[in-house]
Every structure is written in C-alpha cells, then in structure tokens.
Amino acid sequence: MGDDRTAGRKQRRRAYTEAAERLGVSLGGRVAGASLKGEVGGLTVRVTLTAGEDVPTHTQYRVRYPSLGLGLKVRKRYPGSDLAARTWARHRAVTTGDPEFDETYDTRAKQPDRAAVLLDRARREAVSAALGLAAYPRLSTIGDDTLYVACGPDPDAEEIVTTLHTLVGAATALAGR
C-alpha cells in the first residue's frame, strides 16, 4: 500500500510539474504531492489536492476575479442542496429568465435584480461550463469574486491545463473582461 501511495504522489507531482510549466505558474506543496498557484489570463489561480474528514479527496480549482459587488452565489442543485442553501439566507433568489438554467442552478445575490441582468446568455454559458466540470457539486460554487470547482483527485497535466483554462475563461466572462 505504501508503494501505491508513493507512486501516486510521484505521478501527481509529474502532472503538476508539467502543468505548472505549461501554465507559467508556481509549483508547491509537499504533503499531498503538489499544488499550483499564480496568474493565468491576468487572474489569480490555485489548484490543490484537498481532503477532509467529511469531504472526499478532490482537486480544488480556485480562480479569483474582480468583485461583481452583487453578493452573487451560484451552485448546481443536487439532492440536499435546499438544506445547504440555508447558509445563503442573507441572499435572495435570482431568476434569470432562462428556465433550464434556473432549474439547474441555485442562484442567489444580495442584489438579485442586478444579478439577473448580469447573468446574460454568455455568462450563464460560462457558469454552466465551469460548474459542469465539477465532480462534487456541493463543494463547487461561483461567488462574487471567486470560482471554486471540485474535480476528481488525480488529474493528468492536460486535464489540469484544460480545466484551468475553462475556469479562467468563465471567470473572465463573469467579470466582463
């Protein structure tokens, strides 16, 4: 079993090293095997292997962008998400006018009317592209200034690069850049 863990760490380290080189970001992390941080497309990004007592081991992608100033929160609906939405009690539901989007995503904001206008077709497609990558919807959220997406635990370099480019594109679209 120890050999499998060591092999997994080495494989992960190779994937993260290649991805860091391709993306032009820094490589870090010794405990889990690797992490990435830096700027891609002018936005701050971080990729880490994450595990916890009550969450599965997963790759957490985080992309920060300029604040929208709306208190926006979007996540894919999943069984039990209505209970989780209680933590968003200060935020009001947003209806975008797109029935499929509104049924698929729990969208809330402190300024729901402005958020509905902001979430035009292109931005809704960006949200769908980003959250569509999530292996763990309950751990994946688009916020007012940060996009968090939880994917599988051991991506190869190509998957890291492709996922990060998709997420940076979505964050850029949301920020209107």
Kindly state the percentage of the chain with pLDDT values over 90. 66
* 150: its two tokens: 């939880």
pTM (2 decimals)? 0.88
Quick one: pLDDT band at residue 78, thresholds 50, 70, 90?
confident
Asked if the model's pLDDT at residue 175 lies above 80, the reply is yes
Angstrom distance (rounded) from CA 104 to CA 159 = 25
Residue 83: per-residue pLDDT: 52
Residue 131: per-residue pLDDT: 95
Angstrom distance (rounded) from CA 139 to CA 155 = 17
Q: Are 139 and 147 in contact (CB under 8 A)?
A: no
pLDDT (tens digit per residue) in 1-45: 556 667 777 888 889 999 999 999 999 876 555 799 999 999 999
Residue 177: per-residue pLDDT: 67
Closest CA to 106 of 130, 125, 90, 88: 88
Taking the alpha carbons of 62, 63, 67, 71 in that order, is the dihedral positive or negative?
negative
Asked if the model's pLDDT at residue 84 lies above 90, the reply is no
Q: Where do the structural domains in the chain lie, given as residue ranges?
A: 2-175
Residue 4: per-residue pLDDT: 62
**pLDDT: which is higher, 171 or 85:** 171
The per-residue DSSP string of 35-62 comes to EEEEEETTEEEEEEEEEETTEEEEEEEE
Q: Are 61 and 48 in contact (CB under 8 A)?
A: no
Asked if the model's pLDDT at residue 79 lies above 60, the reply is yes
Q: Are 109 and 119 in contact (CB under 8 A)?
A: no
* 103: its two tokens: 């049924």
* 9: its two tokens: 């760490």
User: Tokens 């209680």 appear where?
Assistant: 86
Residue 5: per-residue pLDDT: 63
Residue 11: per-residue pLDDT: 85
pLDDT (tens digit per residue) in 140-173: 999 999 999 999 888 999 999 999 999 999 999 9
Quick one: pLDDT band at residue 89, thresholds 50, 70, 90?
low
At residue 152, φ and ψ (nearest 5 deg) are: -60, 165
